[in-house]
Amino acid sequence: MKNIIIIMGVSGVGKTTIGTLLSKKTGIPFFDGDDFHPEANKQKMASGEALNDHDRQGWLEALNALAIRHQKSEGAIIACSALKENYRQILSREVRSTYFVHLKGDFELITERMKQRKGHFMPPVLLISQFDTLENPIKALTFSITMTPEEITDQVVRIVNHKTEFGLIGLGVMGKSLSRNLANNGFTISMYNRHVDEKEVNVAKNFKAEFPVFKNAMAFDDLANFVTSIQRPRKIMLMVNAGKPVDYVIEDLLPLLDRGDIIIDGGNSHFEDTKRRVDHLNKKAIHFVGAGVSGGEEGALKGPSIMPSGSEEAYKVLAPYLETIAATDKNGKGCCSYVGPDGSGHYIKMVHNGIEYAEMQLLAEVYQLLRMQEKTPFEIADLIEPWTKTALNSFLLEITVNILRKKEGKDWLIDKILDQAGNKGTGNWTTVSAANLGIPATVISSALFARYVSTFKEARIELAGLYQFEKTIPQFDINTLKEAYTVARIINHHQGFSLINEASKKHAWNLNLSEIARIWTNGCIIRSELMESLVDSFTISEKEILFQPTAVNQIKSLKKSLKNIVLASVESNTPLPCFNEALTYLNSMVTKNLSANMIQAQRDYFGAHTYKRIDQEGTFHTDWFVK
Ligand code: 6PG
């Protein structure tokens, strides 16, 4: 089957010029729709009267018959105003591959151009009536007539003949890096950036022009052209801000897509939104894959960790692309695999970020304790850099060493940075989810709240003045700190993976913890030696980390150091939320009898909430007021 290309638009936009030029470039024969009008229509138009729907019916059917005949042979390019949706339906009836090319121009420009064309001047009132009749087509390839005929026809030829393999919407930092990553790996891509104001026009085109690797890529400002340029089933990745923007883009895309097309959301979306979108699009026969992507700008460019979930059928189509652009693990396998149903990919990305918050905070606390010992940032870097040669190594540790060595003139840059940390919400979501599921992910939530505390700068300054607590030099040696840090990290990872495990049970996601650890061994922000070791330990035992023999042995021998670091922080009035919480959590979890019997009794006392006993089965209530 050959293509039928219908060049449409109001009179005077240059349909014949474009059709003829396109025909020259493609060898597909050109037909001017006007030549197919019956005599009666021609006479009516000559007398200056506009045609009505009834007059047009037979003419449109004749053009449709022409298209049907020609799709079997060499195809056809037909110039026809096709102003109404219903006309376009008649034109494309039983035609397999029809492209409408809509030429768009404003009234003044068209009038001006028509005046200059000999013998082709149309009274403005007739042109106005054409504009009134025009129902803008949704799926048509649309071009402004301010472009040259060469540019328009070149683009039509490219879109129709050279479809790309993958589409990307949203050219922010991550979208740009992922686009380059796809192109660097030899994939042909289409890129689109939504523009709300004029400044953002041409973002995609300018970006394409920056890198030679985009030679075969296509860049668009028009969404319909972008969608049409992609091979079916279309694979379109959204790299837009989480929340409403994702829904807006989906709604814009929906009328342009066909059954079986795939939308991938690569942003940090909330997992419940992802589930809603998977269900919503499923009803429309469109696949939706929510994919957590970690690695920041550099990772997205050179190989991120990718956590896709949702339609498994769609994932099979995506795997060759996503697994190629992802980072590779130590065995050369891509750090990307199908995570599970609905929003599970975004869920684990959310917990990834929760673990990330705590890993960052623990390192900030290491830095703070050493700074309190009056060490310079450079000395601190020297003290912790050797850890990178041990099982403690991680991406976040490495960047912390580099940060500590960064100077600005004679000063350490870190000393110039304000102590107020922002966040984009994923740590908050992790804490909320942990609370909802009843999982004490307390090291993660302490890291989140430490960021919140940091934002109260003015209050902290005032309170520091009011209380004047003496800050002394914390007493500890570097090895004790190293051991305490080792234990605190194990507890952080234990909490994060326990949360994932609980969510997996609650939603029947059947998540594979070892595989999750594997795709987090490279590309992502929390890649580390510890993560490597979890890949194997979760294969040997599905038990939570604190129950695994390696963790038991390590914590038994190192716990004292965690206690000593916490003691040093308490003695010196140094705030150390995550180390403190790691110790408290550990102490709680290894305590057979907690004080919760008192809580039970209190609840029963004031609210008759009842309680359970250790010596009898059942539920009990005591009348506490009877002596
Ligand atoms: C990643 C990061 C990335 C980003 C977070 C941080 O895995 O690549 O987690 O997603 O850094 O959005 O979020 P905050 O701004 O909340 O720290």
Q: What is the 3-state secondary structure (H, E, C) of 108-168?
A: HHHHHHHHHCCCCCCCHHHHHHHHHHCCCCCCCEEEECCCCHHHHHHHHHHHHHCCECEEE
Q: List, for residues 303-359, the tens digit of each pLDDT value.
A: 999 999 999 999 999 999 999 999 999 999 999 999 999 999 999 999 999 999 999
Is any atom of ligand 1 closer than 6 Å to the C-beta of 426? yes
Does ligand 1 have an atom closer than 6 angstroms to the CB of 295? yes
Say whether 361 sits in a helix, a strand or coil: helix
pLDDT reading at 260 higher than 70 = yes
Share of the chain above pLDDT 90, in %: 87
Element holding 237 (H helix, E strand): strand 235-238
In terms of C-beta density within 10 A (0-12 exposed, 13-18 middle, 19 or more buried), how is residue 410 classed? exposed
Q: Distance, CA 352 to ligand 1 centroid (Å)?
A: 9
pLDDT recorded at residue 42:
84
d(CA 316, CA 596): 49
Burial bucket for residue 47 (CB in 10 Å: 0-12, 13-18, 19+): exposed
Q: What is the mean pLDDT of residues 514-536?
A: 98
State residue 1's pLDDT score.
62
Mean pLDDT for the stretch of residues 495-522: 98
**294 CB within 6 A, ligand 1:** yes
Mean pLDDT for the stretch of residues 569-596? 97
3-state secondary structure of 592: coil
The residue nearest atom 11 of ligand 1, judged by CA position, is 296
When pLDDT is cut at 50, 70 and 90, the band that residue 130 belongs to is confident
Assess whether 356 carries a catalytic annotation.
Answer: yes
Residues 50, 56, 60: CA angle, nearest 5 degrees: 140
15, 104, 235, 356: the active-site residue: 356
Cα of 318 vs its chain's centroid, Å: 15
Residue % of the chain over a pLDDT of 70: 99
Q: Which tokens go with 394? A: 């991680």
User: What are the structural domains, with CATH classification, of the chain?
Assistant: 4-154 (3.40.50.300), 163-342 (3.40.50.720), 350-589 (1.10.1040.10), 594-627 (1.20.5.320)
Task: Check: CB of residue 307 under 8 Å from CB of residue 345.
Answer: yes
pLDDT digits (tens, 9 = 90+) for 133-192: 899 999 899 999 999 999 999 999 999 888 999 999 999 999 999 999 999 999 999 999
CA 161/CA 155 separation, integer angstroms: 10
pLDDT at 120: 57
Summarize pLDDT for 73-118 with one digit per residue, the tens.
Answer: 889 999 999 999 999 999 999 998 899 999 999 988 888 887 777 6
The yes-or-no verdict on residue 49 having pLDDT over 90 is no
In the predicted structure, residue 52 carries a pLDDT above the cut 90: no
AA letter at 410? K
Q: Which residue has the tokens 């980390």?
A: 545
175-234 pLDDT per residue, tens: 999 999 999 999 999 999 987 777 777 899 999 999 999 999 999 999 999 999 999 999
Average pLDDT, the chain: 94
CA gap 239, 168 in Å, rounded: 7
- Residues 364-390: what's their mean pLDDT? 97
φ/ψ of 523, rounded to 5, equals: 85, -35
540 or 1: which leads in pLDDT: 540
Structure tokens at 234: 């279309």
**Residue 121: its pLDDT value, please?**
53
Q: Is 375 a catalytic residue?
A: no
- Which pLDDT value is given to residue 112? 84
Ligand 1 pocket test: pick from 268, 431, 519 the residue with the most ligand atoms within 8 Å of its Cβ: 268
Alpha-carbon distance 123 to 128, whole Å? Answer: 9
pLDDT tens across 428-469, in order?
A: 999 999 999 999 999 999 999 999 999 999 999 999 999 999
| Cα 307 to middle of ligand 1, angstroms | 14
Of 79, 56, 58, 81, which Cα lies nearest the Cα of 132?
81
Report the distance separating Cα 354 and Cα 499, nearest Å. Answer: 10
